[in-house]
Chains A and B, each alone.
Chain A
Amino acid sequence: MAIEVRDLSAWYRETQALKEVSLSFESNSVTALIGPSGCGKSTFVRCLNRMHEEAPGARLNGKVLVNGTDIYGRSMRARDVRQQIGMIFQRPNPHPLWSVFDNVAVGPRLNGLSRGSRLRELVELSLQHAGLWEEVKDRLGAPARRLSGGQQQRLCIARAIANHPQVLLMDEPCSALDPIATFQIEELIRQLKRDYIVVLVTHNIEQAGRVSDRTAFLLSGRLIEEGPTSELFSRPQKSETDAYLSGRFG
């Protein structure tokens, strides 16, 4: 399982947000995307699950190959791509009025993946994988808004997992959470990489250092540098990378 991005460029109307970015992602890995605000990290991941095209005036160029298949190919439906490539957003966004169970089950229900007792098993399994089962197993019917921020985000992770994706895109998943919840999610990410390709967008350099195997640094829509996290952090090859990592700008 691998993702290969070749010369990806993306625009919002006249503004170019990505300039010929090429990156690869291997299975069982966590890749962090770092860079200052507006560098195109979020745009990049939204191109991976074809959410970018939902924005008004959105255009893109280049290839995104998942296991050799171009997800933007003529015969590919956006919704099939999105089922394979799940996304967790910056602010937890479960449906506040729906129950915990219904929130996790929405993916399988929408895509007809399972129902009945198999659905219940799937929900339980997903919640366990997201590290939330113990905390909610007695209140699966409670509305999701009663959960804390960290719990809601793990609920969103469970929801994404329940849809049986191969890739998890996480767009700054901890930026709206407190440090303890952040710690829990980071632990979770380390476990998730056993089963998924994880692409983690983060503005928190230390988090990238803690959690990821590889890191890519973007600046103004361009990929400046990319490599194994430890090497990138200790021996950055480009001056911009060095400047960003040492906090000289951000």
Chain B
Amino acid sequence: MRRNGPDSFYPRPSVFLLVRRAGNLFAVVVTGLFALLAVSFLVYLILYVAHQGVSFLNLDFFTKTPAPIGGKGGGVVSSLVGSLLVVGLASLIGIPLGLLTGVYLAEFGRGGFAKSVRFLVDTLTGVPSIIFGLFIWIVVVVPAHSFSGVAGALALSIIMIPTVTRTTEEVLRLVPNELRDASTALGASPSRTILRVVLPSARSGIVTGIFLAIARVAGETAPLLMTAFGTPFFNTNLARPIDMLPLRVFTYTLSPYETQIHQAYAGSFVLMLLVILASLAIRWATGGFRRRR
């Protein structure tokens, strides 16, 4: 409390004031403790997996195929390659679809059709991912009589679409209408306005959405169980069962062999690192955007 004299603006300490300050302190401490609690689970998870897995990350891990069951050594290169291929294909399908849907909803969607689309997309975000796997299993795997990387990519792409659509739509809505008006008033067609003015303005937000979607599906396991299925063999043929990192982690976690359990931890650590790096990349990209402004 500042005391500058009899005409001081600042009140002298009173019981009421002390109670208020105590109340403030209490609120800060309690909410802070809960925040710490929430974060601590995450930190513990990261540290535990890192501790268990990091020592088994070596060159072999990234370059060798799995050892025979029960054997030592070997690596998960087949899973890494498989994940890359399948997630890559999923992105090629899911990102354009999500982007265009987001553009439609933000720029053209006003009627009942748009409202239904938006509702369905929002619903899709809440669907458990295994359902997408089941769907593709029924529609692709069973008729083809084979698990395949393509089936896995299809399942993952459907999972990606709502994420990309939502972030794209939200980010496009943030582009001020003044910019659209200015472009329209100059005689630009709607597509030119969207391509040359609106989309470039929303670029960093859209990239964020894409990164998020990729990071999310890279770790999905359940839908892959009945689509890509996995294999201990090195395979790059997307029409056949293909191995992917989450599947390998799943298989190895359940195995009784020490080497495989170690490698499961190492694989989990890699997946976790992927998500962390993606989040950092997103922050860097959007933080960079703010700095330039």
Contact = CB atoms under 8 A, between A and B. Distances in A.
A79 B201 contact: no
Contacts of B187: 79-83, 107, 110-111, 163
A93 B186 contact: no
Interface string B150-191: 000000000000000000000000001011011111111100
Given A56-B110, A110-B196, A51 B178 contact: no
Interface residues of A, number: 27
27 contacts: A49-B185, A51-B184, A54-B184, A79-B189, A80-B187, A81-B187, A82-B185, A83-B187, A86-B186, A87-B185, A89-B178, A93-B176, A93-B178, A94-B182, A95-B179, A96-B293, A97-B293, A106-B183, A111-B187, A111-B188, A145-B293, A156-B182, A159-B182, A160-B185, A160-B186, A163-B186, A163-B187
A222 to B, nearest CB: 26
Interface in A34-71: 49, 51, 54, 56
Interface string B181-219: 111111111001000110001000000000000000000
Contact of A93 (B182, B189, B201): B182
A163 B187 CA distance: 9
Given A95-B201, A110-B188, A163-B187, 19 more contacts: A51-B181, A51-B184, A51-B185, A54-B184, A56-B110, A81-B187, A83-B186, A83-B187, A86-B186, A89-B178, A89-B181, A89-B182, A93-B178, A97-B292, A107-B187, A110-B183, A111-B188, A159-B182, A163-B186
Contacts of B188: 79, 110-111
A240 B24 CA distance: 60
Contacts of A56: 110
Interface string A193-236: 00000000000000000000000000000000000000000000
B195 to A, nearest CB: 10
B186 A82 contact: yes
A87 B183 CA distance: 10
Nearest to B289: A97
Contact of B185 (A80, A86, A94): A86
Contacts of B293: 96-97, 145
Contacts of B182: 89, 93-95, 156, 159
A16 B113 CA distance: 28
Interface string B88-124: 0000000000000000000000100000000000000
Contacts of A86: 185-186
A97 B201 CA distance: 8
A129 interface: no
A95 B189 CA distance: 17
B187 to A, nearest CB: 4
Residue from B176, B178, B185, B188 whose CB has the most chain A CB atoms within 10 Å: B185
Contacts of A87: 185
Contacts of A6: none
